[in-house]
Amino acid sequence: MLDLTPKTVKERSALRVNPCKTCQPVGAMYAALGVKGCMPHSHGSQGCCSYHRTVLSRHFKEPAIASSSSFTEGASVFGGRSNISTAAKNIFDMYDPDIIAVHTTCLSETIGDDLGSYIMDMDIPEGKIVVHANTPSYVGSHINGFFNMMMGFMNYLTKKTGTNNGKTAVFPGWVNPGDIRELKRIAGLMNVPTTFFPDQSGVLDAPMTGKYDMYPEGGTTAEEIQGLGDSEGVIALGEIIGAEPAELLKKKWKTPYTLLPMPVGVTYTDQYVLALRRQSKTEVPAELEAERGRLVDLLLDSHQYTYQKNVAIFGDPDVVIGLTSFALEMGMTPKYVITGTPKGEFTRRIEALFAKYGVTGCTAKANADLFELHQWIKNEPVDLLIGSTYGKQIARSEDIPFLRAGFPVLDRYGGPLQPIVGYAGAIRLVEQITNVLLDRFDRDVSDEDFEIVL
Ligand code: SF4
């Protein structure tokens, strides 16, 4: 269906075709769902809220709860103060959350609603909390919305009592619940007491119990967010998504932080493990060393099938940086690497990886779109495409093997439950990448070379 994409690439500055990102409130909603007993609230019209909930529900195959200020023409002209006040009262009365996390939309940002003052004037029931973040969708992407909401929670809740709580705060960034479980497991093996913020495990991968629970067991508690200022330190994962929240915590509460890439692949997982070792001052356990060894063994075994294969990778910046680093560790050539999030730092990080591994003729671009990626592929094809479901049309049109990874994956099941981070996640990725290439080999090979053993 994308067969008519033209080969000729023309310079564009004010137009995105098939964007490789979504809008800020989606990120704000996802961050808020990682807080226990929290109702994400969309301060705008119902259509925005429906879209944001839908994309999250379709990726996680779980209900993504959220409420809306339900703007109509009146609020658009006179402002949404009465909408948010009435909404907060109704939400606390009817749905009884511990926290309402309000994010703005394009409309409420454009009319200039001052949520800080609206919330200050609200009649909030005893023991309940309302926080907010500004998430205008005409700048940034869902990634900005995610860290803006994190900072919204911290601005309202975090304190410093002066007594160290002995915990290491981990900001896992935008990853799936399966990834958070794996990051927690590694921290547990390293004997590091942690607070993960936000933490969607147990919320967007809640088990089926036969009973609907609007606020499942998982999520970072309000007390844990309050205590972030008393942490031993912060490990912020994802150099794009983690930098601003970690910097805020340092500026306001002098909490030191270590900023690391998303631990995808050998090198980046090593960095996470070493950062945990600095916190716990214990040796890396044999269990984790053995996992790493199994991964390296698998990389050696499969190397002949991945070496010098050209791959195009697209998606959210930190996940893409991790996948690019791992593709290079697998001996692949990341020919095209793009993100839709407008962060120049992304391009610098990817180009530094190209230089480190000595690969040439590769392109990295932030604020890019899938139309342009498709045009590049039409001019110089690749052996594999890795990214969200939105790549499937390019893969079909160009007949390229395609591996779904990142957000959103709308047309496959089980992904959010499985990690791509850590040594275990990397083993899963090697299996998927190698096997998708071997499936293609088997499909195309002549009968006399169609082997049982590869
Ligand atoms: S109007 Fe803005 S906030 Fe609403 S769905 Fe569109 S881009 Fe997102």
Q: Does pLDDT of 120 surpass 80?
A: yes
Atom of ligand 1 nearest to the CA of 52: 5
Atom of ligand 1 nearest to the CA of 51: 5
* Distance set, CA 49 to CA 70, 266, 376, 441 (Å): 9, 39, 35, 44
* pLDDT computed for residue 8 by the predictor: 95
Find the 47 Cα to ligand 1 centroid distance in Å. Answer: 8
Whether 106 is in the pocket of ligand 1, judged by its Cβ within 6 Å, is yes
Q: Does pLDDT of 325 surpass 90?
A: yes
Cis peptide, bond prior to residue 63, ω within 30 of zero? no
3-state SS class at 159: coil
What is the number of residues in the chain? 454
Q: Measure the CA–CA gap between 386 and 401, rounded to whole angstroms.
A: 9
3-state SS class at 104: strand
Q: Does pLDDT of 1 surpass 80?
A: no
Joined tokens for residue 411:
């047309």
Residues 71-112 have pLDDT tens digits of 999 998 999 999 999 999 999 999 999 999 999 999 999 999
User: Do the strands 257-260 and 310-314 form a parallel or antiparallel pair, or are they unpaired?
Assistant: unpaired
Whether 441 is in the pocket of ligand 1, judged by its Cβ within 6 Å, is no
What fold does the segment set 286-447 form as a domain? Rossmann fold (3.40.50)
Q: Does pLDDT of 14 surpass 90?
A: no
* pLDDT computed for residue 13 by the predictor: 85
24-157 and 286-447 share one fold: yes
Instruction: Please give the model's pTM, rounded to 2 decimal places.
Output: 0.97
Q: Does pLDDT of 285 surpass 90?
A: yes
CA-wise closest residue to 174 among 121, 112, 238: 238
Residues 210-239 have pLDDT tens digits of 999 999 999 999 999 999 999 999 999 999
3-state SS class at 221: coil
Q: Is 7 exposed, middle or buried (0-12, 13-18, 19+ CB in 10 A)?
A: exposed
* pLDDT computed for residue 178 by the predictor: 98
Atom of ligand 1 nearest to the CA of 45: 4
Find the 139 Cα to ligand 1 centroid distance in Å. Answer: 11
* pLDDT computed for residue 146 by the predictor: 98
Residues 294-317 have pLDDT tens digits of 999 999 999 999 999 999 999 999
For a ligand 1 pocket test, name from 106, 135, 142 the mutation site with the most ligand atoms within 8 angstroms of its C-beta: 106
What fold does the segment set 168-206+215-280 form as a domain? Rossmann fold (3.40.50)
Q: How many CB atoms lie within 10 A of CB 73?
A: 7
Find the 140 Cα to ligand 1 centroid distance in Å. Answer: 12
Whether 137 is in the pocket of ligand 1, judged by its Cβ within 6 Å, is yes
Map out the domains of the chain as residue ranges.
24-157, 168-206+215-280, 286-447
What band does 364 get if pLDDT is binned at 50, 70 and 90? very high
Element (H, E) at 206: none
For a ligand 1 pocket test, name from 30, 48, 104, 107 the mutation site with the most ligand atoms within 8 angstroms of its C-beta: 48
Q: Measure the CA–CA gap between 99 and 87, rounded to whole angstroms.
A: 13
Find the 148 Cα to ligand 1 centroid distance in Å. Answer: 16
Query: Which CATH superfamily includes the segment(s) 24-157?
Result: Nitrogenase molybdenum iron protein domain (3.40.50.1980)
3-state SS class at 129: strand
Ranges of H-type helices in 307-446:
317-329, 344-357, 370-379, 392-398, 422-444
Judge contact between 341 and 140, C-beta under 8 A: yes
Q: Measure the CA–CA gap between 217 and 384, rounded to whole angstroms.
A: 39
* pLDDT computed for residue 337 by the predictor: 98
For a ligand 1 pocket test, name from 29, 43, 102, 137 the mutation site with the most ligand atoms within 8 angstroms of its C-beta: 137
Cα dihedral 38, 214, 128, 229 in deg (nearest 10): -30
What proportion of the chain, given as a percentage, has pLDDT over 70? 100
Residues 147-189 have pLDDT tens digits of 999 999 999 999 999 999 999 999 999 999 999 999 999 999 9
